[in-house]
């Protein structure tokens, strides 16, 4: 019954704000426009369409607000007036009462807010779908004052999200039962992934841990700043972090006036994204403009400031390798390799013809090469790839849904910063270097070093394990094993000779270079 009432509520909100009329008028068919006029009779729909859509999404709750945040970055898909209005959802959702925020803080820390902070600004500086932020001042153990940002969870979020997720799960089951084609899209698994990430957002300590991990990962990149967490002041409903001072990335005129290199900023954003995805497999998955600022401080001028770490995407090593190989093949326009990777991964049925899949992928992707970002809609590319995947029965991978969403956010951000940005040209060198590192000697050395403790523990046990194995095997198998061991010894000697020879060759080159430098001097 809760799902039923929630469904009725969604329909009523859609009717109240005229979303049905908004959808019908977006079509070019004259008869649909006539229907839109008919259904709007008796309703006062004087407010602009973008404002009505924004207010409806705010009224429906955090899941719908997040949907609006993603849409706000897709100015290639939405009219400008709607995109501008939805941009308010990024960090300007109506705040909740500051007295409620103070009560939440005092409940979390079990003491008055005046004992926690030296100063606390009751006026929130940002308000989003899940939480809002206040500025404050704390005193360090050494007595020094530090400016901090206090993030407080919006009250009542658990119940609202549970209702929406239950409704989405029910709709996913309906879709699977009503359409055989929908099963390959795995709607229930996708909803389950969304469920996981939203519940993670409701635990602010998890967000603080995500921020700490990203801060470590990005420390050597010198392109992005991530706030330090004050762990003594972190609770599931309240977290306290270093206050970051920057200009919202959407304020391009202000950034240009300050002398920020906007095209470089766009390229740096692509580098940050691909570093987090392919190097670390741990990426910020909520990168809309409301969560990104740019530093104007002299020591960190022009660097990104990343905020809000409630939604983090992760990839396994196999996911990273598969995606990197796909991207690398795509940048080389090797569509046959892309098709083969789909077969090798099991994403398409085994009987699929490689040449047919290759031709379909080429048809979708080839028109978009060597064109600036302003002439490319990644949303349209993904839509056409989606149509192609349905034809070849490609199974959608739920763990990659967040990555696809983040890639759309990155494209939308890049489009705002520098429409001339060549997304492929910027990303290609990074991916090629990553692939080289994955298959090169450096990667082999890292793997050996990681496995060294295990090998050190296992090696002393090998003679006993081999003896036990030989004792328990039949004679004929024992003979085969001894022959195999003898062959292995010969192989080991050959490998040693190759390694020593290679080391000698490298040493000889070094000696020659030293002698040449001595002669030059």
Please pick, among 91, 164, 268, 286, the residue that the annotation labels catalytic. 286
3-state secondary structure 18-49: CHHHHHHHCCCCHHHHHHHHHHCCCCCCCCCH
Q: How far apart are CA 151 and CA 204, in angstroms?
A: 8
Residue 475 is encoded by which pair of tokens?
A: 């004679």
Task: Say which DSSP state 303 is in.
Answer: -
* CA–CA distance, 377 with 356 (Å, rounded to integer): 25
Which residues does 49 contact at the CB level (< 8 Å), separation at least 6?
Answer: 18, 22, 81, 82
Find, among 306, 272, 277, the residue nearest to 289 by Cα.
306
Burial 311-326 (b: 16+ CB within 10 A, else e): bbbebeeebbbbbbbb
Point out which residues pair with 146 in neighbouring strands. Answer: 138
Nearest to 403 by CA among 91, 193, 162, 187: 193
The tokens describing 417, both together, are 């910063």
At 206, give phi and psi (nearest 5°).
Answer: -65, -40
Does the annotation mark 286 as catalytic?
yes
Q: How many Å apart are CA 198 and CA 160, to the nearest integer?
A: 11
Residue matched to tokens 């470590």: 216
Distances (CA, A) of 377 to 67, 73, 82, 274: 19, 12, 18, 19
Beta strand pairing status for 224-225 and 304-306?
parallel
Tell me the HSE value of 311 on the side-chain side, using a 13 A CA sphere.
20
Structure tokens at 489: 């010894």
- Which positions are catalytic? 286
């Amino acid at each position: 019954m809760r799902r039923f009432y929630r469904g009725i509520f969604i329909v009523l909100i859609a009717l109240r704000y005229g979303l049905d009329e908004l959808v019908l008028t977006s079509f070019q068919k004259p008869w649909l426009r006539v229907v839109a006029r008919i259904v709007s009779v008796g309703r006062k729909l004087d407010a602009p369409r973008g404002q009505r859509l924004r207010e409806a999404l705010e009224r429906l709750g955090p899941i719908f607000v997040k949907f609006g945040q993603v849409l706000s970055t897709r100015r290639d898909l939405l009219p400008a007036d709607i995109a501008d209005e939805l941009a308010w959802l990024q960090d300007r959702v109506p705040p909740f009462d500051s007295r409620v925020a103070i009560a939440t803080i005092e409940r979390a820390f079990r003491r008055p807010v005046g004992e926690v902070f030296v100063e606390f600004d009751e006026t929130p500086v940002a308000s989003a779908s899940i939480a809002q932020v206040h500025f404050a001042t704390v005193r360090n153990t050494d007595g020094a004052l530090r400016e901090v940002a206090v993030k407080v969870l919006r009250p009542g979020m658990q119940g609202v999200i549970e209702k929406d997720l239950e409704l989405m799960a029910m709709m996913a089951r309906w879709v699977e039962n009503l359409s055989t084609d929908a099963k390959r899209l795995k709607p229930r698994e996708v909803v389950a992934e969304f469920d996981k990430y939203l519940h993670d957002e409701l635990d602010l300590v998890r967000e603080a841990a995500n921020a700490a991990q990203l801060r470590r990962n990005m420390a050597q990149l010198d392109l992005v700043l991530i706030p330090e967490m004050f762990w003594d002041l972190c609770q599931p409903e309240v977290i306290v972090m270093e206050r970051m001072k920057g200009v919202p990335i959407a304020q391009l005129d202000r950034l240009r006036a300050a002398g920020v290199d906007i095209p470089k900023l766009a390229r740096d954003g692509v580098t940050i994204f691909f570093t987090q995805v392919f190097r670390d497999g741990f990426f910020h998955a909520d990168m809309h403009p409301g969560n990104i600022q740019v530093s104007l401080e002299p020591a960190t001028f022009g660097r990104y400031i990343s905020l809000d770490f409630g939604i983090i995407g992760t990839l396994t090593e196999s996911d990273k390798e598969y995606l990197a190989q796909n991207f690398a093949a795509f940048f080389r326009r090797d569509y046959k390799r892309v098709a083969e990777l789909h077969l090798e991964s099991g994403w398409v049925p085994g009987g699929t013809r490689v040449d047919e899949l290759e031709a379909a992928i080429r048809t979708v992707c080839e028109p978009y090469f060597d064109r600036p970002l302003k002439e490319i809609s990644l949303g349209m590319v993904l839509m056409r790839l989606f149509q192609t995947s349905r034809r070849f029965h490609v199974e959608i991978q739920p763990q990659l849904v967040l990555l696809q969403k983040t890639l759309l956010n990155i494209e939308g951000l890049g489009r705002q910063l520098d429409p001339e940005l060549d997304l492929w040209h910027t990303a290609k060198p990074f991916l090629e270097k990553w692939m080289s590192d994955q298959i090169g000697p450096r990667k082999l050395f890292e793997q050996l070093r990681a496995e060294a403790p295990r090998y050190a523990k296992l090696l002393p046990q090998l003679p006993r394990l081999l003896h036990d194995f030989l004792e328990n095997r039949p004679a004929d198998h024992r003979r085969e094993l001894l022959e195999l061991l003898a062959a292995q010894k010969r192989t080991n000697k050959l490998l040693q000779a190759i390694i020593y020879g290679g080391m000698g060759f490298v040493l000889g080159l070094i000696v020659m270079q030293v002698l040449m430098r001595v002669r030059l001097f």
